């Protein structure tokens, strides 16, 4: 080993080592100046200075080299791991930060010439993966987005896809599948783009035939796709074939898809769709379950624009119930929402709601569970499954006991189930229904329930008789129904039952008035008509009833009408005619039919025939088990089999001792039997029944028919003389009672009299319900003629906490009174109006039944009238009373009153000046000052200026939302009736399809809405909220589906007139893209148009609108585009229009000319029109104003007389455009005008 000498003795070795040290540090400095290099340089220089020999210096360098090599290997391994992590993150979080970093890296490392192709590949992959947000990022991000024009097109498609607008994704998908563009896209990704394009055509444009053509060529040729993509292509083709109405071909494609990839879940979805189309719902569910088992998330996400059938979503929700209730609820709700677009009955909504309810139950969400059970119950009820409906609405009540609607629904379900098929009533179940109904009314203390709730309550009260066909007279039912009319005046669901209720408690005039008014509004209502006839019988007006009956045809569908006709003929003393009616028609109730025949024979003096009919009635009752025990017992009584009759009748009377007829019929049976004690008990029962009776007609039948038959049955009995004396006594009693019941001459007198009667034996309570019913009825009758009296009655009624609905009547009458007062103030003087207002205020002040806000607004209105009358002191008094301490919750009523009363700027300044003058004269902080402040704060200047947000109609801000709309009255509104909804949907869908086939334009969505301001049978058609057509159509609530569909077709025909006449307005720039992509035309034309600028497309829009304006179809795209190509490069719509018209006429004369109603313009009219044509310049047509007006009117009159033909032919080609313009201006009907030259064109 060589040692170095001391510094003073430098050796050549030392010099060599220093030189190496300097060289190494210089080399490292040249490589890097980073922190790591600096540290290595310092360490290396220090170690080399310490080295004293070549070996030591070599060891230093070798050590550093070894350590750096080891570090490099470690770093390479970690870098490989980092790359793997990045790739994994891109897969697990597609379109996430890692993916975006990868995109940037790949694009930055790609040559500029190839960058656009790589970018499109990223876009296509993201689009096919439904990562539309990633597509938007690709289009927008700096340093990523391309510079070419395709970016905007692809961005629009991604935005459309994000919102589910499949039709608007087509421009981008066409670009991605264009051979010139898709070469750089991966094969499988390109195949998926084709699938998405086909589904956008099929589902977005609703053109399955075009989708079939699109995919047919792909499946027939060899494609470089994986088996999975081939399977998906076959699935998409199968979907299009199924929509196109070819399920057999769709089945073939399903087999091909399964052969390509048996594990492809969308193939199993297609199998379910095919099974659904065949009506095999259970088989469809099996297919859907298999698809969900393969890849649930993909099939329910609608990947590649795949359809997601509602049943599939529902089955997905069922699978998730036990594991993920939140996602299960989401899936089932989505299924129910998607099912709204399906035909009625295509989706088992009731079962889905049950599953939704059970899922909510599992999650502990009782409120939502109750809501879902209620919806399920309503749908089971609509299917006629009352038992299941009752079960589920009961579960809804358990989950939400405070929800009064569910209690009422439960009460209705129990009521329906209580009535057995034979008409007898399960009184235990009925009592349960009554309990829930009453509990609901207690909880809904403010009243105001839907009409059916009151109808249910009344029906429960009537059914307490235990027999559907013997409704119990009930003052409670009458009061409940009168309360219902306070909520919904003139409601058809209440008017008929209320007429019956009043008749049963002895108010036939009130019943007649109700049925008459109801029939005026709804002449076809059978319930009202029946009640009208019964009221006429009660009022001893059978001839009038017969005239009404003879105007209506009788059939098996109207057994009630046969019964009424027989009753009326018997009452008129024409039993022979009644027998003829019974022989011609069957009522469907053999026992009642035989009894009626027997009565007619007896009245006609043929007792033997009568006995045979009675025997038939008894035999039928025994044989058929109709359980009409009262009729069977009466037949046995008339046959003289009194013991049997008494045995049958006794339990009936025990069960219902409130029915007068049961008492007197049982009494007659006892009197006829004549055993010991029978005469006394029979007389008591007769007296009890008569004392409870309220029906003149029933008492008349007793005296004229039943008692004479009783005497005839017992004329040879030992007790015949005593019985005859008893009958004479009863006749005298009945005669007095009938005379007493005849006391009233109209409905008001009748109800006044009923109001003052003492409690009746048949009253449901101490007479309180009878008084409520009479007060409400009187107020209802007097509201039109004597509002002050009606108001007093409503106030009296409102003081009763059992009638919370009375406030609604008070409000209506006060509103009508104020309308009269305002009219007086405007037509006479404000002073007179103020006098009337103060009279109203004195009536309301201190009354116990006045709603507080009504009193506040009445005082406020009086103050406003005082201001207009310049009565400052009275203004101050009324304003202070109204607003110094307004009633709680009255602020909305105050604002509404001011908006209605202060309706002009003049009134505004009068009121404001009066308030400011009052403010100057009162002390700060006083009640008067507070009233002034509240008034000034609430004065509606913004309302007068119409600057409030609610003054802007959003439909006018965004009119494109519903370009076409039908608004209908209540009778035309489908409500929740699936048949009627289907009629509207079918008619509109058929119209849209027909216009698209005939004209080439897909109409936008047609809105259908209820307008409560329209008459029930009225409608109007709107174009961009502008009313174009108004009309009425005959329609009634009881029409069958065919009649309803005919009424709907009438309205839709008017819609068609509007649509055809305004197609040029409905066709927009967006429709141009759909029009271009919606048919098969030469690929060269397609590619050329893909390169057109926006201005050229606008010119094409102009041309198509000009054609549509003149009612020329634009179906033939090839012809139009070919003619446009002939006029390029600088073409214009007006210049190309004549040539395009001629080409279209030549190509399709049959549909344009021969296929529509036509007429020829009269020669004299054409000559008069020619006078306005400039001979030197045919582009000018001009006549003096008066002459032009007269000529236009004559042209319009001819067109109307000719039946508004859609095609008008004429001689002059130069004059044709002007004739069309004049017709278009003067006619609301679509019309096209063709010259003879055009019509004569041949291909």
Q: Which residues contact 279 (CB under 8 A, 6 or more apart)?
A: none
pLDDT for 957: 42
Residues of the chain with pLDDT under 50: 1-8, 954-960, 1079-1086, 1088, 1241-1243
Domains of the chain: 7-75 (no CATH), 783-951 (no CATH), 954-1066 (3.40.30.60), 1148-1243 (3.40.50)
C-alpha to C-alpha distance for 408 and 386, rounded to whole angstroms: 15
Distances (CA, A) of 251 to 254, 290, 336, 628: 5, 17, 27, 57
C-alpha to C-alpha distance for 1145 and 32, rounded to whole angstroms: 81
CA-closest candidate to residue 1146, choices 1125, 1118, 1127:
1118
Q: Within a 10 A sphere around the Cβ of 1161, how many other Cβ atoms? A: 22
Determine the 3-state secondary structure of 424 from DSSP: strand
Contact 409, 433 (CB under 8 A): no
C-alpha to C-alpha distance for 822 and 839, rounded to whole angstroms: 14
What are 424's strand-pairing partners?
A: 467
C-alpha to C-alpha distance for 1028 and 1014, rounded to whole angstroms: 15
pLDDT for 1090: 53
Determine the 3-state secondary structure of 924 from DSSP: coil
Contact 464, 472 (CB under 8 A): yes
C-alpha to C-alpha distance for 192 and 195, rounded to whole angstroms: 5
Residue 636 Ramachandran class (φ > 0 left, ψ -120 to 50 alpha, else beta): alpha
Determine the 3-state secondary structure of 226 from DSSP: coil
For residue 1129, whether the previous peptide bond is cis, meaning omega lies within 30 degrees of 0, is: yes
CA-closest candidate to residue 676, choices 712, 715, 718:
718
Torsion of CA 1023, 1029, 1035, 1040, to 10 degrees: -50
Dmax (CA) for the chain in angstroms is: 173
Q: Within a 10 A sphere around the Cβ of 1016, how many other Cβ atoms? A: 17
Contact 300, 307 (CB under 8 A): no
What are the tokens at 158? Answer: 């991604």
pLDDT for 952: 53
Q: Which residues contact 620 (CB under 8 A, 6 or more apart)?
A: 590, 591, 594, 626
Determine the 3-state secondary structure of 554 from DSSP: coil
C-alpha to C-alpha distance for 344 and 349, rounded to whole angstroms: 10
pTM tops 0.85? no
What are the tokens at 154? Answer: 């692809």
What are the tokens at 1190? Answer: 């007269």
For residue 460, whether the previous peptide bond is cis, meaning omega lies within 30 degrees of 0, is: no
Look up tokens 């002895």; give the residue. Answer: 506
Distance in angstroms between the alpha carbons of the first and the last residue of the chain:
114
CA-closest candidate to residue 372, choices 424, 317, 323:
317
Strands of the sheet with 1207-1210, listed across from one edge: 1158-1160, 1207-1210, 1232-1235
Q: Within a 10 A sphere around the Cβ of 925, how many other Cβ atoms? A: 8
Helix (H) or strand (E) holding 797: helix 787-798
Segment 764-807, tens digit of pLDDT: 677 889 999 999 999 999 988 888 899 899 989 888 888 999 98
Helix (H) or strand (E) holding 836: helix 830-844
Distances (CA, A) of 27 to 20, 37, 137, 704: 10, 10, 46, 137
> Percentage of the chain surpassing pLDDT 90?
33
pLDDT for 548: 92
pLDDT for 1084: 42
C-alpha to C-alpha distance for 28 and 38, rounded to whole angstroms: 8
C-alpha to C-alpha distance for 1037 and 1051, rounded to whole angstroms: 17
Q: Is 402 exposed, middle or buried (0-12, 13-18, 19+ CB in 10 A)?
A: exposed
C-alpha to C-alpha distance for 702 and 730, rounded to whole angstroms: 10
Distances (CA, A) of 1056 to 279, 663, 815, 1059: 33, 65, 42, 5
What are 1031's strand-pairing partners?
A: 1019
Q: Which residues contact 73 (CB under 8 A, 6 or more apart)?
A: none
C-alpha to C-alpha distance for 591 and 594, rounded to whole angstroms: 5
For residue 749, the number of C-alpha atoms closer than 13 Å in the C-beta half-sphere is 7
Q: What DSSP string runs through 964-1002?
A: EEEEE-GGG--TT-HHHHHHHHHHHHHHHHHHHHHHS--
CA-closest candidate to residue 485, choices 522, 444, 518:
518
């Amino acid at each position: 080993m060589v040692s170095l000498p001391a510094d003073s003795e430098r050796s050549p070795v030392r010099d060599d080592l220093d030189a190496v040290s300097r060289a190494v540090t210089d080399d490292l400095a040249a490589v890097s100046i980073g922190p790591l290099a600096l540290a290595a340089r310092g360490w290396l220089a220090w170690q080399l200075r310490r080295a004293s020999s070549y070996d030591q210096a070599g060891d230093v360098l070798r050590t550093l080299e070894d350590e750096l090599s080891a570090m490099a290997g470690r770093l390479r391994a970690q870098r490989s791991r980092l790359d793997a992590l990045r790739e994994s993150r891109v897969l697990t979080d597609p379109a996430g930060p890692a993916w975006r970093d990868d995109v940037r890296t790949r694009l930055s490392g790609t040559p500029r010439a190839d960058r656009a192709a790589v970018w499109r590949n990223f876009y296509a992959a993201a689009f096919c993966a439904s990562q539309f947000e990633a597509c938007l990022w690709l289009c927008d991000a700096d340093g990523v987005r391309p510079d070419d024009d395709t970016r905007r097109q692809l961005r629009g498609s991604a935005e459309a896809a994000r919102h589910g607008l499949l039709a608007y994704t087509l421009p981008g998908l066409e670009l991605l599948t264009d051979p010139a563009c898709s070469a750089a896209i991966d094969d499988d990704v390109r195949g998926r783009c084709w699938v998405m394009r086909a589904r956008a055509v099929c589902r977005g444009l609703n053109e399955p035939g075009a989708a079939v053509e699109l995919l047919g060529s792909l499946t027939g040729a060899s494609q470089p796709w994986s088996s999975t993509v081939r399977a998906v292509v076959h699935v998409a083709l199968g979907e299009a074939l199924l929509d196109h109405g070819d399920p057999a071909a769709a089945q073939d494609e399903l087999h091909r898809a399964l052969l390509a990839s048996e594990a492809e879940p969308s193939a199993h979805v297609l199998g379910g769709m095919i099974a659904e189309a065949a009506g095999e719902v259970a088989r469809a569910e099996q297919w859907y379950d298999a698809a969900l088992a393969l890849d649930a998330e993909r099939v329910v996400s609608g990947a590649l624009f795949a359809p997601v059938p509602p049943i599939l979503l529902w089955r997905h929700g069922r699978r998730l119930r036990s594991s993920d209730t939140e996602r299960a609820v989401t899936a089932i709700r989505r299924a129910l929402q998607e099912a709204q677009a399906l035909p009625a009955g295509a989706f088992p909504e009731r079962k889905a709601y049950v599953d939704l309810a059970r899922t909510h139950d599992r999650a502990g969400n009782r409120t939502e569970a109750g809501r879902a059970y209620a919806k399920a119950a309503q749908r089971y009820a609509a299917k006629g499954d009352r038992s299941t409906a009752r079960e589920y609405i009961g579960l809804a009540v358990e989950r939400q006991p405070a929800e009064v609607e569910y209690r009422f629904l439960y009460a209705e379900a129990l009521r329906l189930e209580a009535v057995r098929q034979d008409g007898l009533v399960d009184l235990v179940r009925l009592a349960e229904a009554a309990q829930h109904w009453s509990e609901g009314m207690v909880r809904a203390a403010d009243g105001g329930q839907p009409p059916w709730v009151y109808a249910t309550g009344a029906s429960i009260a009537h059914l307490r008789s235990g027999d559907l066909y013997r409704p119990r007279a009930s003052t409670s039912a009458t009061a409940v129904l009168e309360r219902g009319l306070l909520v919904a005046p003139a409601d058809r669901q209440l008017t008929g039952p209320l007429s019956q209720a009043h008749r049963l408690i002895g108010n036939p005039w009130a019943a007649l008035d109700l049925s008459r008014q109801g029939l005026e509004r709804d002449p076809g209502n059978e319930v009202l008509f029946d009640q009208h006839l019964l009221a006429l019988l009660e009022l001893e007006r059978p001839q009038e009833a017969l005239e009404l009956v003879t105007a209506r045809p009788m059939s098996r569908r109207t057994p009630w009408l046969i019964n009424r006709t027989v009753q009326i003929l018997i009452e008129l003393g024409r039993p022979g005619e009644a027998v003829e009616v019974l022989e011609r028609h069957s009522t469907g109730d053999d026992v009642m039919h035989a009894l009626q025949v027997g009565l007619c024979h007896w009245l006609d003096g043929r007792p033997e025939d009568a006995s045979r009919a009675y025997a038939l009635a008894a035999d039928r009752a025994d044989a058929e088990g109709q359980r009409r025990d009262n009729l069977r017992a009466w037949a046995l009584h008339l046959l003289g089999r009194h013991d049997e009759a008494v045995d049958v009748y006794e339990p009936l009377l025990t069960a219902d001792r409130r029915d007068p007829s049961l008492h007197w019929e049982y009494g007659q049976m006892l009197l006829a039997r004549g055993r010991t004690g029978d005469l006394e008990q029979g007389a008591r029962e007769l007296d009890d029944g008569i004392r409870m009776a309220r029906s003149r007609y029933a008492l008349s039948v007793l005296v004229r028919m039943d008692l004479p038959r009783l005497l005839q049955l017992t004329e040879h009995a030992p007790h015949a003389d005593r019985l005859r004396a008893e009958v004479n006594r009863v006749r005298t009693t009945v005669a007095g009672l009938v005379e007493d019941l005849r006391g009233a001459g109209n409905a008001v007198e009748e109800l006044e009299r009923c109001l003052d009667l003492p409690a009746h034996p048949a009253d449901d309570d101490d007479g309180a319900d009878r008084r409520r019913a009479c007060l409400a009825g009187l107020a209802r009758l007097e509201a039109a003629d004597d509002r002050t009296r009606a108001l007093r009655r409503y106030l009296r009624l409102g003081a009763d906490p059992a009638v919370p609905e009375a406030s609604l009547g008070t409000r209506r009458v006060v509103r009508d009174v104020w309308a009269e007062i305002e009219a007086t103030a405007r037509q006479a003087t404000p002073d007179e109006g103020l006098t009337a207002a103060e009279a109203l205020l004195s009536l309301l002040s201190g009354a116990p039944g006045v709603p507080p806000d009504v009193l506040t607004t009445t005082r406020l209105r009086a103050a406003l009238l005082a201001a207009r009358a310049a009565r400052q002191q009275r203004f101050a008094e009324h304003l202070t009373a109204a607003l110094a301490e307004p009633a709680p919750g009255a602020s909305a009523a105050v604002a509404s009153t001011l908006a209605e009363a202060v309706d002009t700027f003049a009134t505004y300044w009068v009121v404001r000046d009066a308030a400011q003058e009052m403010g100057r004269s009162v002390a700060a902080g006083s009640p008067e000052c507070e009233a002034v402040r509240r008034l000034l704060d609430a004065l509606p200047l913004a309302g007068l200026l119409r600057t409030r947000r609610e003054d802007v109609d959003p439909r006018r801000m965004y009119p494109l939302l519903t370009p076409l709309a039908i608004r209908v009255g209540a009778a035309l509104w489908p409500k929740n009736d699936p048949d009627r909804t289907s009629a509207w949907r079918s008619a509109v869908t058929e119209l849209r399809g027909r216009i698209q086939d005939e004209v080439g334009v897909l109409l936008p969505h047609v809105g259908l809405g209820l307008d409560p301001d329209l008459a029930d049978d009225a409608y109007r058609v709107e174009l961009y909220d502008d009313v174009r057509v108004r009309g009425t159509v005959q329609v009634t609530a009881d029409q069958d589906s065919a009649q309803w569909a005919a009424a709907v077709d009438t309205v839709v025909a008017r819609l068609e007139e509007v649509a055809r006449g305004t197609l040029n307005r409905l066709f927009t720039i967006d429709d141009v893209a759909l029009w271009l992509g919606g048919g098969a035309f030469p690929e060269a034309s397609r590619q050329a148009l893909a390169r057109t600028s926006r201005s050229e497309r606008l010119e094409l829009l102009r041309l198509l609108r000009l054609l549509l304006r003149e009612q020329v179809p634009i179906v033939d795209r090839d012809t139009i585009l070919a003619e446009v190509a002939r006029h390029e490069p600088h073409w214009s719509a007006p210049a190309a229009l004549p040539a395009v018209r001629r080409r279209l006429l030549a190509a399709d004369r049959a549909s344009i000319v021969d296929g529509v109603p036509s007429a020829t313009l009269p020669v004299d009219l054409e000559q008069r029109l020619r006078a306005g044509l400039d001979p030197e310049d045919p582009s000018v047509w001009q006549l003096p104003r008066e002459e032009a007006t007269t000529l236009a009117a004559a042209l319009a009159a001819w067109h109307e007389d000719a039946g508004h033909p859609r095609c008008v032919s004429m001689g002059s080609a130069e004059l044709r455009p002007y004739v069309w313009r004049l017709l278009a201006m003067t006619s609301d009907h679509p019309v096209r005008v063709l010259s003879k030259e055009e019509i004569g064109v041949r291909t």
